[in-house]
Amino acid sequence: MNKPSALVFSAHAADFVWRCGGAIALHQTRGYEVTIICLSYGERGESAKLWKKGKTALAEVKSIRKSEAEKAASELGAHDIIFMDLGDYPLEANKKSKYKIVEILREVQPGFILSHSKYDPYNTDHMYTTELVLETRMIAQAWGHNPGEKILGAPQLYLFEPHQTEQMGWVPNVFLDVTEVWDKKRKAIECMEGQVHLWNYYTNVAENRANHFRRNSGGQAGGREAKYAEGFQAVFPRCVDEL
Per CB under 8 A, contacts with its own copies among 7-66 are: 23, 26-27, 30, 43-45, 47-48, 51-52, 54, 56, 58, 61
Closest CA to 9 of 86, 105, 116, 97: 116
Q: Which helix (H) or strand (E) holds 18?
A: helix 15-29
Nearest approach in angstroms of CB 20 to its own copies is: 9
How many CA atoms, within 13 angstroms, populate the side-chain half-sphere of residue 111?
Answer: 11
- Indicate whether 240 belongs to the interface with its own copies (CB under 8 A): yes
Nearest approach in angstroms of CB 80 to its own copies is: 18
| Sole binder of its own copies in the list 80, 82, 211, 227 (CB under 8 A) | 211
Burial per residue of 194-207, b for 16 or more beta-carbon CB atoms within 10 angstroms, e otherwise: bbeebeeebeebbe
- Indicate whether 212 belongs to the interface with its own copies (CB under 8 A): yes
Evaluate whether 131 touches 146 at the Cβ level (below 8 Å). Answer: no
Evaluate whether 205 touches 232 at the Cβ level (below 8 Å). Answer: no
| Sole binder of its own copies in the list 71, 186, 224, 227 (CB under 8 A) | 224
- Indicate whether 77 belongs to the interface with its own copies (CB under 8 A): no
| Sole binder of its own copies in the list 3, 138, 183, 196 (CB under 8 A) | 138
DSSP bridge pairs for 83 = 38
Phi, psi values for residue 165, rounded to 5°: -50, -45
x/- site string to its own copies, residues 85 to 114, per CB under 8 A? ---xxx-------x-------------x--
| Sole binder of its own copies in the list 15, 68, 75, 177 (CB under 8 A) | 177
Evaluate whether 74 touches 34 at the Cβ level (below 8 Å). Answer: no
Closest CA to 19 of 5, 36, 4, 43: 36
Part in contact with its own copies (CB under 8 A); list of ranges 67-75, 76-84, 117-125, 182-190: 117-125
Closest CA to 116 of 105, 128, 106: 128
Part in contact with its own copies (CB under 8 A); list of ranges 72-80, 154-162, 185-193: 154-162
| Sole binder of its own copies in the list 1, 94, 96, 154 (CB under 8 A) | 154
Q: Which is nearer to its own copies, 110 or 188 (CB)?
A: 110
Nearest approach in angstroms of CB 18 to its own copies is: 12
